[in-house]
Chain A
Protein backbone atom coordinates (compact mmCIF):
# COMPACT_ATOMS: atom_id res chain seq x y z
CA UNK A 1 0.00 0.00 0.00
CA UNK A 2 2.35 2.68 -1.22
CA UNK A 3 -0.24 5.50 -0.92
CA UNK A 4 -0.44 4.84 2.84
CA UNK A 5 3.31 5.19 3.22
CA UNK A 6 3.24 8.56 1.49
CA UNK A 7 1.38 9.98 4.49
CA UNK A 8 4.19 9.07 6.89
CA UNK A 9 7.15 11.42 7.24
CA UNK A 10 10.45 9.92 6.15
CA UNK A 11 12.41 8.99 9.28
CA UNK A 12 15.71 10.27 7.93
CA UNK A 13 14.68 13.04 5.58
CA UNK A 14 17.85 14.97 4.79
CA UNK A 15 18.14 18.63 3.94
CA UNK A 16 20.62 20.31 1.61
CA UNK A 17 22.97 20.84 4.54
CA UNK A 18 23.20 17.07 5.00
CA UNK A 19 21.45 17.00 8.37
CA UNK A 20 17.94 16.07 9.48
CA UNK A 21 15.25 18.74 9.53
CA UNK A 22 15.11 19.33 13.29
CA UNK A 23 18.85 19.93 13.43
CA UNK A 24 18.78 22.33 10.49
CA UNK A 25 15.83 24.06 12.15
CA UNK A 26 17.61 24.59 15.47
CA UNK A 27 20.70 25.95 13.70
CA UNK A 28 18.63 28.46 11.73
CA UNK A 29 16.92 29.44 15.00
CA UNK A 30 20.30 29.79 16.73
CA UNK A 31 21.41 32.02 13.83
CA UNK A 32 18.49 34.33 14.62
CA UNK A 33 19.44 34.13 18.30
CA UNK A 34 22.96 35.34 17.47
CA UNK A 35 21.41 38.45 15.94
CA UNK A 36 19.08 38.87 18.92
CA UNK A 37 21.92 38.84 21.44
CA UNK A 38 24.07 40.96 19.12
CA UNK A 39 21.39 43.66 19.32
CA UNK A 40 21.60 43.54 23.13
CA UNK A 41 25.41 43.31 23.37
CA UNK A 42 25.88 45.90 20.62
CA UNK A 43 23.50 48.33 22.33
CA UNK A 44 25.35 47.80 25.60
CA UNK A 45 28.76 48.54 24.04
CA UNK A 46 27.44 51.64 22.29
CA UNK A 47 25.63 52.95 25.38
CA UNK A 48 28.69 52.33 27.55
CA UNK A 49 31.12 53.98 25.13
CA UNK A 50 28.72 56.90 24.78
CA UNK A 51 28.12 57.33 28.55
CA UNK A 52 31.37 56.50 30.36
CA UNK A 53 30.21 58.33 33.51
CA UNK A 54 27.17 56.07 33.95
CA UNK A 55 29.33 53.07 34.95
CA UNK A 56 31.48 52.77 38.10
CA UNK A 57 35.05 53.98 37.48
CA UNK A 58 36.73 50.67 38.42
CA UNK A 59 34.17 48.70 36.42
CA UNK A 60 30.96 46.78 37.19
CA UNK A 61 32.71 44.71 39.90
CA UNK A 62 32.30 47.70 42.23
CA UNK A 63 28.57 46.94 42.34
CA UNK A 64 28.10 43.37 41.02
CA UNK A 65 28.98 40.24 42.98
CA UNK A 66 31.77 38.67 40.86
CA UNK A 67 32.55 35.60 43.04
CA UNK A 68 28.95 34.33 43.11
CA UNK A 69 28.52 34.94 39.37
CA UNK A 70 31.85 33.23 38.61
CA UNK A 71 30.52 30.22 40.53
CA UNK A 72 27.32 30.39 38.49
CA UNK A 73 29.37 30.55 35.27
CA UNK A 74 31.23 27.43 36.39
CA UNK A 75 27.87 25.74 37.08
CA UNK A 76 26.63 26.48 33.55
CA UNK A 77 29.89 25.17 32.02
CA UNK A 78 29.47 21.95 34.06
CA UNK A 79 25.87 21.63 32.85
CA UNK A 80 27.13 21.86 29.25
CA UNK A 81 29.46 18.92 29.93
CA UNK A 82 26.67 16.86 31.52
CA UNK A 83 24.47 17.65 28.49
CA UNK A 84 27.14 16.43 26.09
CA UNK A 85 27.61 13.34 28.30
CA UNK A 86 23.87 12.60 27.93
CA UNK A 87 24.26 12.96 24.16
CA UNK A 88 27.30 10.64 24.07
CA UNK A 89 25.45 8.13 26.29
CA UNK A 90 22.41 7.78 24.01
CA UNK A 91 24.60 7.75 20.88
CA UNK A 92 26.14 4.61 22.41
CA UNK A 93 22.69 3.25 23.32
CA UNK A 94 23.17 3.80 27.07
CA UNK A 95 19.64 4.59 28.37
CA UNK A 96 20.68 4.76 32.02
CA UNK A 97 23.51 7.20 31.25
CA UNK A 98 21.15 9.37 29.21
CA UNK A 99 18.64 9.66 32.07
CA UNK A 100 21.31 10.28 34.71
CA UNK A 101 23.12 13.02 32.76
CA UNK A 102 19.86 14.69 31.72
CA UNK A 103 18.75 14.91 35.36
CA UNK A 104 22.16 16.34 36.32
CA UNK A 105 21.80 18.95 33.55
CA UNK A 106 18.24 19.89 34.60
CA UNK A 107 19.34 20.30 38.24
CA UNK A 108 22.35 22.45 37.34
CA UNK A 109 20.33 24.56 34.89
CA UNK A 110 17.61 25.16 37.49
CA UNK A 111 20.30 25.99 40.07
CA UNK A 112 21.76 28.60 37.72
CA UNK A 113 18.36 30.32 37.54
CA UNK A 114 18.03 30.06 41.32
CA UNK A 115 21.43 31.66 41.94
CA UNK A 116 20.55 34.41 39.45
CA UNK A 117 17.29 35.08 41.29
CA UNK A 118 19.26 35.29 44.56
CA UNK A 119 21.75 37.66 42.91
CA UNK A 120 18.89 39.89 41.71
CA UNK A 121 17.28 39.96 45.16
CA UNK A 122 20.61 41.00 46.74
CA UNK A 123 21.18 43.71 44.13
CA UNK A 124 17.64 45.08 44.52
CA UNK A 125 18.11 45.02 48.29
CA UNK A 126 21.15 47.29 47.83
CA UNK A 127 19.16 49.71 45.68
CA UNK A 128 20.42 48.45 42.30
CA UNK A 129 17.05 48.43 40.51
CA UNK A 130 16.23 48.35 36.74
CA UNK A 131 14.95 51.93 36.84
CA UNK A 132 18.13 53.17 38.56
CA UNK A 133 19.93 54.36 35.42
CA UNK A 134 21.51 53.12 32.24
CA UNK A 135 23.92 50.68 33.95
CA UNK A 136 21.32 48.73 35.98
CA UNK A 137 18.81 49.00 33.14
CA UNK A 138 21.15 47.37 30.57
CA UNK A 139 22.38 44.88 33.18
CA UNK A 140 18.88 43.57 33.94
CA UNK A 141 17.88 43.55 30.26
CA UNK A 142 20.84 41.42 29.18
CA UNK A 143 21.07 39.03 32.13
CA UNK A 144 17.27 38.85 32.29
CA UNK A 145 16.92 37.78 28.66
CA UNK A 146 19.68 35.24 29.18
CA UNK A 147 18.03 33.91 32.36
CA UNK A 148 14.78 33.62 30.41
CA UNK A 149 16.61 31.50 27.81
CA UNK A 150 18.03 29.24 30.53
CA UNK A 151 14.54 28.88 32.05
CA UNK A 152 13.04 27.91 28.67
CA UNK A 153 15.93 25.45 28.20
CA UNK A 154 15.27 23.83 31.58
CA UNK A 155 11.55 23.47 30.79
CA UNK A 156 12.32 21.87 27.40
CA UNK A 157 14.92 19.62 29.02
CA UNK A 158 12.40 18.41 31.61
CA UNK A 159 10.23 17.35 28.66
CA UNK A 160 13.18 15.57 26.98
CA UNK A 161 14.05 13.87 30.31
CA UNK A 162 10.43 12.73 30.66
CA UNK A 163 10.61 11.23 27.15
CA UNK A 164 13.97 9.62 27.99
CA UNK A 165 12.39 7.88 30.98
CA UNK A 166 9.69 6.54 28.65
CA UNK A 167 12.44 5.07 26.43
CA UNK A 168 11.67 7.29 23.43
CA UNK A 169 15.32 7.74 22.40
CA UNK A 170 17.53 5.04 20.94
CA UNK A 171 21.05 4.79 19.54
CA UNK A 172 19.44 5.05 16.09
CA UNK A 173 17.22 8.07 16.79
CA UNK A 174 18.19 10.62 19.45
CA UNK A 175 17.24 13.77 17.57
CA UNK A 176 15.46 15.39 20.53
CA UNK A 177 18.53 15.02 22.75
CA UNK A 178 20.83 16.52 20.13
CA UNK A 179 18.51 19.47 19.40
CA UNK A 180 18.01 20.47 23.06
CA UNK A 181 21.76 19.98 23.52
CA UNK A 182 22.58 22.45 20.74
CA UNK A 183 20.24 25.03 22.29
CA UNK A 184 21.71 24.42 25.74
CA UNK A 185 25.33 24.84 24.59
CA UNK A 186 24.37 28.01 22.74
CA UNK A 187 22.88 29.48 25.93
CA UNK A 188 26.15 28.56 27.70
CA UNK A 189 28.13 30.22 24.90
CA UNK A 190 26.09 33.42 25.21
CA UNK A 191 26.68 33.48 28.97
CA UNK A 192 30.46 33.17 28.41
CA UNK A 193 30.31 36.39 26.35
CA UNK A 194 27.85 38.15 28.69
CA UNK A 195 29.88 37.31 31.80
CA UNK A 196 32.94 38.98 30.28
CA UNK A 197 31.14 42.01 28.87
CA UNK A 198 28.65 42.74 31.67
CA UNK A 199 30.56 41.63 34.78
CA UNK A 200 34.30 41.73 34.14
CA UNK A 201 34.98 44.60 31.72
Chain B
Protein backbone atom coordinates (compact mmCIF):
# COMPACT_ATOMS: atom_id res chain seq x y z
CA UNK B 1 0.00 0.00 0.00
CA UNK B 2 1.14 3.55 -0.61
CA UNK B 3 0.24 4.48 2.95
CA UNK B 4 3.58 5.17 4.60
CA UNK B 5 2.85 8.21 6.78
CA UNK B 6 2.54 7.96 10.54
CA UNK B 7 -1.04 7.96 11.72
CA UNK B 8 -2.15 11.34 13.09
CA UNK B 9 -3.39 11.60 16.65
CA UNK B 10 -7.00 10.52 16.04
CA UNK B 11 -8.02 10.94 19.67
CA UNK B 12 -7.00 14.62 19.59
CA UNK B 13 -9.09 15.14 16.43
CA UNK B 14 -12.02 13.39 18.12
CA UNK B 15 -11.61 15.61 21.19
CA UNK B 16 -11.55 18.77 19.04
CA UNK B 17 -14.69 17.66 17.17
CA UNK B 18 -16.51 16.85 20.42
CA UNK B 19 -15.58 20.19 22.04
CA UNK B 20 -16.62 22.16 18.95
CA UNK B 21 -19.97 20.31 18.82
CA UNK B 22 -20.58 21.18 22.49
CA UNK B 23 -19.70 24.85 21.79
CA UNK B 24 -22.07 24.89 18.79
CA UNK B 25 -24.98 23.56 20.81
CA UNK B 26 -24.16 25.90 23.71
CA UNK B 27 -24.07 29.12 21.70
CA UNK B 28 -27.33 28.23 19.92
CA UNK B 29 -29.13 28.93 23.21
CA UNK B 30 -27.39 32.29 23.80
CA UNK B 31 -29.15 35.50 22.82
CA UNK B 32 -26.66 36.57 20.15
CA UNK B 33 -27.67 38.44 17.03
CA UNK B 34 -28.78 36.10 14.24
CA UNK B 35 -25.94 37.20 11.93
CA UNK B 36 -23.21 36.62 14.53
CA UNK B 37 -24.68 33.24 15.41
CA UNK B 38 -24.83 32.11 11.77
CA UNK B 39 -21.25 33.27 11.10
CA UNK B 40 -19.81 31.47 14.14
CA UNK B 41 -21.85 28.28 13.58
CA UNK B 42 -20.97 28.02 9.89
CA UNK B 43 -17.30 28.74 10.72
CA UNK B 44 -17.24 25.96 13.32
CA UNK B 45 -19.01 23.53 10.93
CA UNK B 46 -16.44 24.22 8.18
CA UNK B 47 -13.61 23.80 10.66
CA UNK B 48 -15.01 20.43 11.82
CA UNK B 49 -15.59 19.28 8.23
CA UNK B 50 -11.97 20.19 7.40
CA UNK B 51 -10.68 18.18 10.37
CA UNK B 52 -12.64 15.12 9.19
CA UNK B 53 -11.48 15.48 5.58
CA UNK B 54 -7.82 16.22 6.37
CA UNK B 55 -7.22 13.67 9.14
CA UNK B 56 -9.91 10.94 9.08
CA UNK B 57 -10.05 10.85 5.27
CA UNK B 58 -6.27 11.39 5.14
CA UNK B 59 -6.54 14.12 2.49
CA UNK B 60 -3.61 15.90 4.12
CA UNK B 61 -1.35 12.98 3.27
CA UNK B 62 -2.68 12.21 -0.21
CA UNK B 63 -1.09 12.93 -3.58
CA UNK B 64 -1.71 16.28 -5.23
CA UNK B 65 -3.92 14.90 -8.05
CA UNK B 66 -6.19 13.17 -5.54
CA UNK B 67 -6.47 16.33 -3.42
CA UNK B 68 -7.43 18.32 -6.52
CA UNK B 69 -10.01 15.67 -7.39
CA UNK B 70 -11.46 15.89 -3.87
CA UNK B 71 -11.87 19.69 -3.81
CA UNK B 72 -12.91 20.06 -7.48
CA UNK B 73 -16.68 19.84 -6.76
CA UNK B 74 -16.58 22.61 -4.12
CA UNK B 75 -16.41 25.62 -6.53
CA UNK B 76 -19.11 23.91 -8.60
CA UNK B 77 -21.23 23.60 -5.46
CA UNK B 78 -20.93 27.36 -4.82
CA UNK B 79 -21.79 28.16 -8.44
CA UNK B 80 -24.90 25.96 -8.21
CA UNK B 81 -26.20 27.69 -5.08
CA UNK B 82 -25.29 31.23 -6.17
CA UNK B 83 -26.90 30.71 -9.57
CA UNK B 84 -30.22 29.70 -8.02
CA UNK B 85 -30.18 32.17 -5.11
CA UNK B 86 -30.37 35.06 -7.64
CA UNK B 87 -34.03 34.06 -8.05
CA UNK B 88 -34.68 35.52 -4.61
CA UNK B 89 -32.08 38.18 -4.04
CA UNK B 90 -31.62 40.17 -7.22
Q: Residues of A at under 8 Å CB distance from B? A: 16-19, 23-24, 27-28, 30-32, 34-35, 38-39, 41-43, 45-46, 49-50, 59, 61, 66-67, 70, 73-74, 77-78, 80-81, 83-85, 88, 91, 172-174, 178, 181-182, 185-186, 188-189, 192-193, 195-197, 200-201
Give Cα A201 to B28, complex, Å: 8
B64 to chain A, nearest CB (A): 8
- Asked if A16 contacts B65 (CB within 8 A), the reply is yes
| Chain A residues within an 8 Å CB radius of B2 | 18-19
Partner of A192, one of B11, B48, B62, B77: B48
Asked if A189 meets B49 with Cβ closer than 8 Å, knowing A28-B69, A34-B74, A88-B7, the reply is yes
B88 CB–A CB distance under 8 Å: yes
- Asked if A85 contacts B10 (CB within 8 A), the reply is yes
- Asked if B10 contacts A19 (CB within 8 A), the reply is no
- Asked if B28 contacts A173 (CB within 8 A), the reply is no
**Chain B residue at smallest Cβ distance from A190:** B49
**Pairs A-B, 5 closest by C-beta atoms:** A42-B81, A38-B77, A196-B45, A17-B65, A18-B63
Query: Which of B48, B72, B76, B85: most chain A CB closer than 10 A?
Result: B48
A25 to chain B, nearest CB (A): 11
A35 to chain B, nearest CB (A): 6
- Asked if A38 contacts B80 (CB within 8 A), the reply is yes
- Asked if B52 contacts A188 (CB within 8 A), the reply is yes
Q: Residues of B at under 8 Å CB distance from A? A: 1-3, 7, 10-11, 13-14, 17-18, 21-22, 24-25, 28-29, 37-38, 41-42, 44-45, 48-49, 52-53, 55-57, 62-63, 65-66, 69-70, 72-74, 76-77, 80-81, 84-85, 87-89
Asked if A81 meets B11 with Cβ closer than 8 Å, knowing A18-B65, A19-B62, A192-B52, the reply is yes
**Chain B residue at smallest Cβ distance from A194:** B45
Partner of A31, one of B41, B62, B65, B70: B70
Asked if A46 meets B85 with Cβ closer than 8 Å, knowing A35-B76, A38-B80, the reply is yes
Give Cα A45 to B1, complex, Å: 42
Give Cα A197 to B28, complex, Å: 12
- Asked if A42 contacts B41 (CB within 8 A), the reply is no
Partner of B73, one of A34, A77, A172: A34
Asked if A74 meets B69 with Cβ closer than 8 Å, knowing A84-B56, A174-B1, A201-B37, the reply is no
| Chain B residues within an 8 Å CB radius of A17 | 63, 65-66, 69
